[in-house]
A = this chain, B = another copy of it.
Amino acid sequence: MVHLRDIKTDVKIGSLTLRNPVMPASGTFGYGEEFAEYVDYNLLGAIVVKGLSLEPRAGNPPPRIIETASGMLNAIGMENIGVQAFIKDKLPFLRQFRCAVIANIYGETVEEYCKVAEVLSGAEGVHALEVNISCPNVEKGGVAFGTDPAMVHEVTGKVKSSTNLPVIVKLSPNVTDITGIAVSAQDAGADAISLINTMTGMSVDIISRTSNLANLTGGLSGPAIKPIALRMVWEVYNKVNIPVIGIGGITTPEDAVEFMIAGASAVQIGTANLINPLATMDVLEGILTYLEVQDIADLRDLVGSLKLERPEE
């Protein structure tokens, strides 16, 4: 029986090694300040910060969120303080922790993606970039880049040449064939694939007959989308040989383990943070317990271990 302290949980993403596979999902953890009183960041595999663009962005008008069955729609619209302010005002705070800092980046043009990547590569304390080509809530960029394999290839390749940091490409689930997109990203040099971002959705107020979001549509997240995310992780895991980071509705340790069995080397926790600021810690603890109870000494042995044959009953 393996002992908790002997379990190997490190995850390699390009040249970066994470101490464990648990991190928050971009946009649900701010720039890390608010949750520092709740979560011991030293215990996290990494922190992923809110998406950054070259210039500050105001985002969409309110209302920006609405609850749905086992999920929520958001249309934040990439509000952020811009990459310079991030480096100046937020990064110093994050540097004090042992966990890796992953900067989620966003641009309206390929050039903007590259520029943001460049700027962040020069900053001390950023350990990897997560390229968000999947935001459904902006008019330009975002999901437009994430649905066409050729575009994915271009953005990934150019960002890759703008930085020496590991590059994680975050994909949109709003596509017919997620594997084609993932393979494009890999071919262009991506060090890992994050999936999924939100699914585009809508919600209507039947009295005013308006959308419940000022932006009309929004991105669906939370437990509702978990089955879709899990399927995409499995599909992509079978087609690429770079690590897959599983995201989508993960709320409990069991959810996270499901993603790992389906092929995720690491997991991100998004919406669950909004309900429980300690969600990342709870998931991490539970994964470790699972590994111990199931006598799995190395997390890697769990990743992609789905059995296709069903045991005889």
Contact = CB atoms under 8 A, between A and B. Distances in A.
B200 A307 contact: no
A262 interface: yes
A144 B175 CA distance: 14
A214 B310 contact: yes
Given A69-B71, A211-B306, 18 more contacts: A68-B226, A69-B223, A70-B223, A71-B227, A199-B228, A200-B228, A202-B230, A202-B234, A203-B230, A203-B258, A206-B254, A206-B258, A206-B261, A208-B310, A209-B261, A210-B309, A210-B310, A217-B231
Given A206-B257, A305-B209, A201 B228 contact: yes
Interface residues of A, number: 50
B206 A227 contact: no
Q: Is the interface of A mostly helix, strand, loop or mixed?
A: mixed
Contact of A204 (B201, B224, B261): B261
Copies in the complex: 2
Interface in A156-178: 174-177
A147 interface: yes
Interface of A: 68-71, 73, 147, 174-177, 199-204, 206, 208-211, 214, 216-218, 220, 222-228, 230-231, 234, 249, 254, 257-258, 261-262, 290, 305-311
B176 A209 contact: no
Contact of A202 (B175, B262, B309): B262
